[in-house]
A and B are shown apart, each in its own frame.
Chain A
Amino acid sequence: MTAVTVGQAFQQGLAEEMEADDRIFVLGTDLFIRGGHFAQVKGIGPRFGHDRVIDTPISEAAMVAAGVGAALNGMRPLIDLNFIDFAFGAMDEIANQAAKSSYLWGRPVPMVIRASSGVALYSAQHNNSLEAWFMHMPGLITVMPSNAADTKGIIKSALRSDDPVIFLMHKRLTGVRGEVGGPDELVPLGRAAIARPGSDVTIVSSGIVVNKVVKAAEVLASEGVEAEVIDLRTIFPLDAQLIEGSVRKTGRALVVTEEPPFASVASEIAAMVQEEVFDYLDAPVQRVTAAHSPIPHSPGLMEALIPQVETIVSAVRGSVERWPSTEA
């Protein structure tokens, strides 16, 4: 089996689902020829034709509205918003239309919104982390895969889900390679994965940050601390069972995300862990997040604001030193 990029994994999953279900169509800007700004739908246009890959004007509200109305009328649209930052121009359609229909009217909106996200180049207006915004909004599912296999497996599940799914693809993962599953291998929504088993500390993260956490876990292992790394995969519904089960075992929890800290995914997980498994904790739940700052252009500035392997390692070290395990 050959490894494919995360972008290609997305294409594969999408194409397989489009082949199987002719209600699925893709809509967004610069898709048909260029294949999207991250080549995420490259080749899909010529293969499926203009009725299934619809290029639109730069009208984000119209793109998402088209998706909502079409989904209510029997289709299963995938709306490609390019960068998640452009969701601001369609926020009413996402939060007030798509997210409300099942609740108000009993008719769900089976629509996927794909967008590239996460911290990368191009400065402040192209690097907002909105996952906590979507998590906060009842009526949405939000996913954030960290590798090629999950990207393919999750987009397939998202396209089969009856709910609106926000599919966040980290910009800096687009070209990362990995093996992927076959046409029948789905990764369920709402299920996190253990990226690395361990017994001493649970480190929860998602998307590209998982890779940094795994590297940090290797450093920690050389110091005798075995970290269990949880890859959320789905931001909402949060796989609380898996996280809590892991923390019961390790007695220590750290959440690492690339978003600003206030009212964040990391805050939510920290609150949940201390509420549910307080008795098992040897130390306060820790968070390592990005700074409460827009993202700047100059790469050195940008990197200074987001979690790095070394910050993750020292957070765990600090916890272990200050609150040694009670069993030890």
Chain B
Amino acid sequence: MINEPQIINEALSETHEQLAAADRPSEDGLLEIDISGLPAGELVKWLEDMVLIREFEEALEPLTLSGKIPGSVHQASGQEAVAVGVVRALRPGDIVASPHRPHHHALAKGLTPRAVMAELWGRATGCAGGRGGTMHLIDFSLGYFGSNGIVGAALGIAMGAALAAKLRQNGQVCVGFFGDGGANTGRTWEFVNFATVEKLPLIVVCENNQYAVETWIRREMVGGTIAERAIGFGLPASQVDGQDIAAVYAATVEARERAAAGGGPTFIEAVTYRYRGHNTGEVINYRTEDEVEHWRATRDPVERLRSSLERLGQLRPGQFEEIVAGASAVVQDSIEFSESSPVPDPATAGDRVLVTPFDEKGLA
């Protein structure tokens, strides 16, 4: 019952210097992906989802640096295939919970760019009414059980939601995302162990983008891959190429089937890469530009799906540019919507702490 982990990403065993010196792939350099197993009629929509995420993320840095979005945010440019590949393998009633780098998950799960953008702006029209910001996005009606400011915590919420799904026998499958950094916090493994013991309908997805802030995973983790670590907990675990939407989708479909059939949780380590800094405004001095370029040139998840679709004639010439222009317009609209949206009423700032009504005199 234990899967052999597949080490598909050689970059993990190389140093930064080796990587930088590595031969560049030929021609356009892009590693091909095999999309023959994917639902053909839907793939343009998947590409649109990924492009929308990319456009959304790429718009954020100036907005945070100018202060229009209070504070900084964590962008997921480069990680689109993980979000879209996972969510597209789910059913609508399924549940997703995200860590602090969540916009790609939220948008993939169906939150509108307006609802997410306005939340980042702290506006009343945001998905949490401006109370949450980037690390507390929410839409329970879409099965989006929140982004979370605490490393490792989102997996716990997804695990608990999966316990409820099991007890209620309602067929829901829950996904908890976390990062490579989250693979080094103890609670993550408490959750994995408990979910495995209880055979919960949970999919544990580690987005290994190889850095926790500036800390390279190879410097803070010994004893093999994150997936290999997971195997010790007795659940099926594998490492997939997170820049290959077909691989992510296939792994998630299999995990979902297992979960729905009562077979318990599955652990997926998706090896991915973030193009931007840990947060907007970060000065990146812990990796080389070469390394980033290598990932972009050989494994960009949007380009890989695009080129496959073009090769198969499923994307006509010029269509990709139209998709980008469309996504860009939608993001622009979300910015204008946020800018013109009201701020929340300060008189409400202390509301809803408890359902039980109380004031300084006690029970109100």
Give me the interface of A with B, judged by CB distance under 8 Å: 25, 51, 54, 56-57, 59, 61-63, 65-75, 92-93, 96-97, 100, 102-108, 138-139, 141, 161-163, 188-191, 237-242, 244, 272
In the complex, which of the residues B148, B167, B356, B362 contacts A70, with contact meaning CB atoms closer than 8 Å? B167
Contact B190 A59 (CB under 8 A): yes
**Interface size classification for chain B:** 35 or more
Q: Is the CB of B153 within 8 A of A93?
A: yes
Instruction: List the 8 closest A-B pairs by CB distance, nearest first.
Output: A69-B160, A65-B156, A190-B363, A73-B164, A237-B358, A59-B190, A62-B190, A70-B164
Least Cβ distance of A275 to chain B in Å? 9
- Among listed B4-12, B128-136, B294-302, interface-contacting one: B128-136
**What are 16 residue pairs bridging A and B, where the CB atoms are less than 8 Å apart in the complex?**
A51-B167, A56-B194, A57-B197, A65-B190, A66-B159, A69-B162, A69-B174, A72-B160, A92-B150, A93-B156, A103-B353, A105-B128, A108-B354, A108-B355, A138-B353, A242-B362
Nearest-neighbour CB distance to chain A for B182, whole angstroms, equals: 13
* Minimum CB distance partner of B192 in chain A: A62
Residue among B159, B168, B354 facing the most chain A CB atoms (10 A cut-off): B354
B120 within 8 A of A: no
| Stretch in contact with the other chain, from B138-146, B207-215, B315-323 | B138-146
B88 within 8 A of partner (CB): no
Q: What separation, in Å, do the CA atoms of A79 and B68 have in the docked complex?
A: 42
Chain A residues contacting B163 (CB-CB under 8 Å) are 66, 69-70, 75
Say yes or no: A59-B167 contact (C-beta < 8 A), given A93-B153, A237-B362, A241-B362: no
Q: Is there an interface contact between A62 and B187, defined as CB atoms closer than 8 Å?
A: yes
* CB proximity of A292 to chain B, nearest CB, Å: 27
Q: Is the CB of B128 within 8 A of A68?
A: no
* Complex: A244 Cα to B361 Cα, angstroms: 9
Chain B 313-364 residues near chain A, CB threshold 8 A: 352-356, 358, 360-363
Could you say which residues of chain A place their CB within 8 Å of the CB of B197? 56-57
Q: How far is the CA of A69 from the CA of B131 in the complex (A)?
A: 20
With A103-B131, A161-B356 in contact, is A62–B164 under 8 Å at CB?
no
Knowing A61-B190, A97-B156, say if A69 contacts B164 (CB, 8 Å): yes
Q: Are B187 and A103 in contact (CB under 8 A)?
A: no
Return B123 CB to nearest CB of chain A, in Å. Answer: 15
Report A244 CB to chain B, min CB distance, Å.
8
Contact B190 A72 (CB under 8 A): no
A66-B150 contact in complex given A102-B353, A241-B361, C-beta closer than 8 Å: no
Which chain B residues border A57 with CB–CB below 8 Å? Answer: 190, 193-194, 197
* CA distance in complex: A100, B133 (Å): 14
* Nearest CB in chain A: distance from B158 CB, A: 6
Asked if A105 and B132 sit within 8 Å, CB to CB, the answer is: yes
Residues in chain B near residue A238, CB distance under 8 A: 362
Residue B255 interfacial (CB < 8 Å): no
Bound: A75/B172 CA distance, A = 14
A96 and B150 form a contact (CB under 8 A): yes
- Find chain B residues with CB under 8 A from A92 CB: 150, 153, 187
* A68-B356 in contact (CB<8A): no
Q: Which of B157, B167, B360, B361 contacts A68 (CB 8 A)?
A: B157
Shortest beta-carbon distance from B223 to chain A in Å: 21
- Known pairs A62-B156, A65-B190, A96-B150. 9 more at Cβ < 8 A? A57-B197, A66-B156, A70-B160, A73-B164, A73-B172, A96-B149, A100-B136, A190-B358, A272-B360
